[in-house]
């Protein structure tokens, strides 16, 4: 079958690879309905951090179960499933507390930019749909696996409430999903920070009420001007750089929370600055499994359409072109047809 | 009148100073019922940070109003009042949001280790009692001004809930007030980290269910052993050093909040560590004004007795001896009779 491997920064190849097999009794094998490329795949692509080479790429997935290990009891072959990029048992104390992304058995999914994938901890990770979905819902269901669930977590961690004024830092796919999530949670003012016309338009479609194209001091001043110089009730940080985090901190009103979901790269916080600014923070890999049942219901009833975030579709065989398109920001997010 | 001045680290003198006068129409002058020394007074005493010399000491206060500026309308001469160490107008958006300690007009109280003190922003800062309190309640009312309100804020920021398991890092007066506060909020397990017998006993009196004398790795292991290796639902950090913050972070379960109220000195956070640990944080100077009406009611009805935290009483004239006793940890907190 075809699978996607990263050999070095900038070097992605789709090759004929061995089909996955059940390695543990808690595994499932799924046939992917579609796959996609994540903004976080760009960190190693751009040379940030070390990785074992070649690395089997892809952690977002949905599709049909083709085999399950003998211990798996909540999903069975033939069912259509969506799972989280964080693999969890969904029974340990952290899972029960709603933080499946800190599961005692946590693993991160890999190898999903392929035709078939092995999903460890299938019972605690996968959610089965009642019936196979119509084809046009596949992009949205795929988005639920990570990018939507992550944007949702950012809004949840930032404690977005009905009536909140929200700032979203980052106009990548996760930031756009943060806009959608804040809207669903009842935010009445959603300020998207974006300088790209196409992303601005999508942000508005997802529920943004204001767009700020400026960054840095100008961006902060623009947020302050829109919020009576108070700052936002909730800030979603969806990038992960020192600059984006500084922007988030400066836009947050005292006592508010910053939900940060961009994996921090070189980000440091000064204790006294956080203290005297009274900026609250909660972040981390999203516990997508907590949100999945609700997100799937919103998608199946067509109340939300997160699949709109995919603006380029390519055959799996052309994954390398997809990485190039996202790296150059020509594409927001690339769906790979499997 | 007598007032307390710090001339240099370690050099505190009580001298005859000019009586305070109304400088702004929003000021009040109060005659202190008592004053006290705060743990945070020990930072400059121990040479941390620069300060204008001499510095007029004391930010915790309660007493009788003797004069008010012409704009003051919520308190009047003759009333017994308690105020926050953070001065606030209580009308700006930050105050209305419950974060009076980030008031647009925020100032910090000073000069309260004296016989009389000027309280700026009197309307937004002071809360008047219905009647003059009995003398035995003075220590508790004085505690509400900072140390109780700060411990309460730590528990509030850490989102202590009925049934929570709470860890309190720091056995100073604020940490002990954090224990009391967590108990009032319904925590069922309160683990106080303390190695001093007298403080351990007071923690137990205030509601601690467990005492851990170990620190560092041993302390973390002890907390883990008490919490099924899960960690605490809420952690109160009441010291402000890198070591105490590391302890707090290690004791907090993923998804929990750390309420940190020790002014951070040299504390840095690594973004990736916070992210992958999923440790939430909210801290800062306590918005005591938000809590004051409730705290005063709890004290006046004798439901809580935070005044127990004072274990040494001295005449104001002996304030220097009080600083020495707290610096050497012979006293938890010193009350100064005015």
pLDDT of residue B53: 82
The whole-number average pLDDT for the span A181-202 is: 97
pLDDT of residue B50: 84
Question: How many CB pairs below 8 A link A and B?
Answer: 132
pLDDT of residue B49: 82
Determine the residue among A97, A240, A275 to mutate to test chain B binding: the one whose Cβ has the most chain B Cβ atoms within 10 Å.
A275
**Partners of A283 in the beta sheet?**
A260
A306 φ/ψ angles, rounded to the nearest 5 degrees = -65, -20
User: What proportions of chain B, in percent to the nearest 5, are helix, strand and coil?
Assistant: 35, 25, 40
For residue A331, give the nearest of A322, A45, A35 by alpha carbon: A322
Residue carrying structure tokens 């969904």: A90
| Angstroms from A208 CA to nearest CA on chain B | 23
CB B327 within 8 A of CB B24: no
pLDDT of residue A52: 81
Residues of B in contact with A270 (CB under 8 A): 267-268
Residues of A in contact with B278 (CB under 8 A): 99, 101-102, 282-285
Q: Report the CATH fold assignment for B150-283.
A: Rossmann fold (3.40.50)
Per-residue pLDDT at A130 exceeds 90: yes
pLDDT of residue B52: 81
Residues of A in contact with B287 (CB under 8 A): 255
**Average pLDDT value for chain A:** 97
pLDDT of residue A53: 82
**Partners of B166 in the beta sheet?**
B190, B234
The whole-number average pLDDT for the span A277-283 is: 96
Residues of B in contact with A264 (CB under 8 A): 271-272, 274-275
CB A249 within 8 A of CB A223: no
In order of A145, A314, A315, the CA distances from A337 in angstroms are 16, 6, 5
Residues of chain B with pLDDT under 70: none
pLDDT of residue B310: 98
Which of A255, A268, A276 has its CB closest to that of B271? A268
Inspect the interface and report whether the beta carbons of B254 and A283 lie closer than 8 Å.
no
* Angle, alpha carbons B182-B184-B188 (nearest 5°): 60
What is the tens place of the pLDDT at every residue in A286-319? 999 999 999 999 999 999 999 999 999 999 999 9
| Angstroms from A280 CA to nearest CA on chain B | 4
The whole-number average pLDDT for the span A210-235 is: 96
Per-residue pLDDT at A191 exceeds 90: yes
Residues of A in contact with B274 (CB under 8 A): 264, 269, 281, 283-284
Q: Report the CATH fold assignment for A2-146+287-337.
A: Quinone Oxidoreductase; Chain A, domain 1 (3.90.180)
The domain limits of chain A are 2-146+287-337, 150-283
What is the tens place of the pLDDT at every residue in B126-185? 999 999 999 999 999 999 999 999 999 999 999 999 999 999 999 999 999 999 999 999
């Amino acid at each position: 079958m075809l699978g996607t491997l990263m050999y070095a920064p900038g070097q992605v190849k789709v090759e004929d690879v061995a089909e996955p097999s059940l390695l543990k009794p808690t595994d499932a094998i799924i046939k992917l309905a579609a796959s996609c490329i994540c903004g976080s795949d760009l960190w190693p692509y751009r040379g940030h951090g070390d990785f074992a080479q070649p690395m089997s790429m892809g952690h977002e997935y949905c599709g049909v179960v083709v085999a399950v290990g003998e211990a798996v009891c909540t999903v069975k072959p033939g069912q259509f499933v969506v799972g989280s990029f964080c693999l969890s048992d969904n029974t340990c104390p952290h899972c029960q507390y709603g933080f499946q992304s800190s599961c005692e058995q946590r693993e991160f999914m890999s190898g999903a930019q392929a035709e078939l994938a092995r999903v460890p901890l299938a019972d605690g990770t996968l959610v089965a749909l009642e019936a196979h979905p119509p084809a046009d819902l596949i992009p949205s269901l795929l988005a639920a696996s990570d990018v939507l669930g992550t944007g949702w977590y950012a809004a949840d961690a930032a404690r977005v409430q009905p009536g909140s004024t929200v700032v979203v830092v980052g106009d990548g796919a996760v930031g756009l999903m943060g806009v959608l999530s804040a809207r669903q949670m009842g935010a009445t003012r959603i300020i998207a920070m974006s300088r790209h016309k196409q992303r601005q338009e999508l942000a508005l479609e997802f529920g943004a009420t204001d767009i700020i194209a400026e960054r840095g001091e100008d961006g902060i001043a623009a947020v302050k001007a829109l919020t009576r110089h108070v700052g936002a009730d909730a800030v979603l940080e969806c990038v992960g750089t020192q600059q984006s985090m500084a922007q988030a901190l400066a836009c947050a009103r005292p006592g508010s929370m910053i939900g940060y979901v961009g994996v921090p790269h070189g980000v440091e916080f000064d204790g006294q600055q956080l203290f005297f600014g009274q900026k609250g923070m909660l972040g981390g890999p999203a516990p997508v499994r907590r949100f999945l049942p609700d997100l799937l219901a919103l998608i199946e009833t067509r109340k939300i359409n997160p699949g709109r975030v995919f603006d380029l579709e390519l055959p799996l065989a052309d994954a390398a072109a997809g990485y190039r398109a996202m790296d150059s920001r020509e594409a927001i997010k690339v769906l790979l047809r499997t």
